Chains A and B, each alone.
With several copies, the nearest count.
Chain A
Amino acid sequence: MRSITLSQAVNEAIAEEMRRDPTVIILGEDVAEAGTPFKVLSGLVEEFGTDRVIDTPISEPGFTGIAVGAAMTGLRPIVDLMFGDFLYLVMDQLCNQAAKTHYMSGGKLTVPMVLRTNLGATRRSAAQHSQSLHALVAHIPGLKVAMPSSAYEAKGLMKTAIRDNNPVVIFEDKLMYQDKAPVPEEEFLIPFGEAKVHQAGDDITLIATSSMVQVAQAAARLLAAQNISAEVIDPRTIAPLDCSTLIESVKKTSRAIVIDEGHQQYGVTAEIASVIAHDAFYYLDAPVHRMGAMDVPVPFSPVLEDLTVPTPDRVVEQAKKLMRGVREHVA
């Protein structure tokens, strides 16, 4: 199978859906000729024209609101939010409007829109361009939240997102845009709410999202070298969350680490860990361990920034503690 970059995968997914459905449009800053600063959308304006690939002013709340209205009236807008850190600016339009419209109208109005944005630190971009804010939107009923961990997932989840009749927020890892992975040429979609077992294992379950799937996979390789067999699971969408796949895995392995690049406090690791600790309670041999990003604004200085995100080594260290299962090592 051919390999393409995550960036190309997103581009292909959008292009295919735009060919298939003339109501799909793109709104955002520098999405047209520039193809976004990350160049993910290059070529789309050439194919679909400036009527469907629309450069906006630097007005995130405004163009998100416009997308909500467009979605309510017959279009399927894709909002391009240049950095995930700008989510704070669009929270009202996304959470008070898009997320609630279908419910508040008793099922009459729908808001089929996609907000694509990114996450991820260690790019030396400092505190306002490095956040991973997916927990914020996952908290809000009415929003779906997808987190591709490779080019393959990026393509399949994006296509599903565009066809979904609800507002979907999709987070790409900005450090992964140039990473290649095998992606079929034939059309495929990835259903929401189905976790993927990247690697089967018996001793411990590593649940990881987005950027952290690679970290978990690297950790699993290191653990294998020490005869610890790790199962690596990627929820792929955190809302809806495929609880049963996670729980079945932990029932088998009896140990789990949840790894996510959002802040740890009140973050995604908390939800997933508490679901497992509840539903797999009688099967656990050790506490479910959480590894989120440090609870600090992302520092600019490289030496500090690198400390804030989970690494394979630190996952291995924790996994070994849990395997020992000795009380004092855990707390």
Chain B
Amino acid sequence: MASNQREQWLRMYEQMVKIRQFEFQANQLYLDAKMPGLTHMYSGQEAVAVGICDALEKTDSITSTHRGHGHCVAKGAEFKAMFCELLGKAEGYCRGKGGSMHIADQDNGNLGANAIVGGSAGIATGAALTAKILGTDSVTVCFFGDGAMGQGLLYEVMNMAALWHLPVIYACENNHYGEYTKTEEMAAGELKARGEAFGIEAFEVDGQNVLAVNNLTQTLVERSRKGEGPFLMVLDTYRYHGHHVGDINRTYYRSKEEEAHWRDERDPIDNFEAHMIAKKGATKKELKEIRARVEQEAKAAVEYALQADYPPLDEVDSHVFAA
């Protein structure tokens, strides 16, 4: 196995573990009543964010969603500033003003989570327009859920992206539910066809397989840089938790068996771990060390964030306008 491939595998593994760990701690903060408000867990979908973001450069952009911690970590964010943001602290990525649903990390190209379902489709497409007009070769990935396929805005911007050949990849994370409703009850026809109808080449991929996601993304990113975009990816995936941390009793909309199936059979981290070991890309011990290290980092970051200061009160009316 080539050392750069091994490196990449370990990097993606670590990023997936980081996301899982981040969400574990965030959920814990909620359960311990230390988190203001609610938050939406990305656990289960790690291979999507990581497989995609690993194929991007730092100068490429992403837009994210209400379920955005995974995208944020995968695009390079640090635990400390993320936890600070989730707790409304001044050292958060947005000085505590955005919180979980608006976390943004411009330096790493994360243009922000968005609490309006589908709300960032225009932003992502606009970032791609910038790339085209300024002649940079950067690519933008727009993450959104199957539920966001209900928003007409998406089709408006996909149409323009297609007309103008913009370097944008629409990444639909089909986790089979929008809140408490199954995708089939919300979406007629085929999701993939919804890109194709607007002249966009579209792909379906197993969103639990980080290598499959990564390979496809690498191809599409390369093609996007050559002006062959836009593209639509529909990624089959699953969220392990409820819609948000408070959605505990959910058997009325999905069965425990279904949840168990995804966790037991299709976990993106477990399966990648098995794959790496089988292919001799890593040893069990190595991987265990990574998990232990990430857990320590996460715990330390949580401790740090809990102790960190809130923003000074006079910041309440700063940043309404830029200078």
Q: Which residues of A contact B (CB under 8 A)?
A: 23, 25, 29-30, 33-34, 37, 51-52, 54-59, 61-75, 77, 85-86, 89, 92-93, 96-97, 101-110, 112, 123-129, 141-142, 144, 165-166, 294-297, 299-304, 307-308
Other-chain contact of B321, A33, A127, A144 (Cβ < 8 Å): A144
Q: How far is the CA of A177 from the CA of B313 in the complex (A)?
A: 29
- Name the interface size band of chain B: 35 or more
Q: Taking the complex as formed, is B248 at the interface, i.e. its CB lies under 8 A from any CB of chain A?
A: no
Q: How far is the CA of A294 from the CA of B317 in the complex (A)?
A: 8
Q: Taking the complex as formed, is B208 at the interface, i.e. its CB lies under 8 A from any CB of chain A?
A: no
Q: Taking the complex as formed, is B44 at the interface, i.e. its CB lies under 8 A from any CB of chain A?
A: no
CB–CB B186/A57 < 8 A: yes
Q: Taking the complex as formed, is B171 at the interface, i.e. its CB lies under 8 A from any CB of chain A?
A: no
Q: Taking the complex as formed, is B156 at the interface, i.e. its CB lies under 8 A from any CB of chain A?
A: yes
Chain B residues within 8 Å of A86, by CB: 116
A–B pairs, 29, beta carbons within 8 Å: A25-B133, A34-B180, A34-B253, A57-B178, A58-B118, A58-B178, A62-B122, A63-B122, A64-B122, A65-B123, A67-B122, A70-B129, A72-B123, A73-B131, A75-B130, A85-B115, A96-B119, A97-B123, A103-B319, A105-B94, A106-B94, A106-B97, A126-B98, A165-B322, A294-B317, A296-B317, A300-B36, A300-B102, A301-B97
10 cross-chain pairs, A with B, having the tightest CB-CB distances, nearest first = A65-B122, A69-B126, A62-B156, A300-B99, A124-B37, A106-B95, A301-B88, A57-B150, A69-B123, A301-B96
List the A residue with the shortest CB-CB distance to B86. A300
Q: How far is the CA of A128 from the CA of B127 in the complex (A)?
A: 21
Report the minimum CB–CB distance from B230 to chain A (whole Å).
12
Q: Taking the complex as formed, is B134 at the interface, i.e. its CB lies under 8 A from any CB of chain A?
A: yes
Chain B residues within 8 Å of A72, by CB: 111, 123, 126-127
Chain A residues within 8 Å of B38, by CB: 124-125
CB–CB B95/A107 < 8 A: yes
Q: How far is the CA of A73 from the CA of B186 in the complex (A)?
A: 25
CB–CB A104/B252 < 8 A: no
Report the minimum CB–CB distance from B308 to chain A (whole Å).
11
CB–CB B88/A97 < 8 A: no
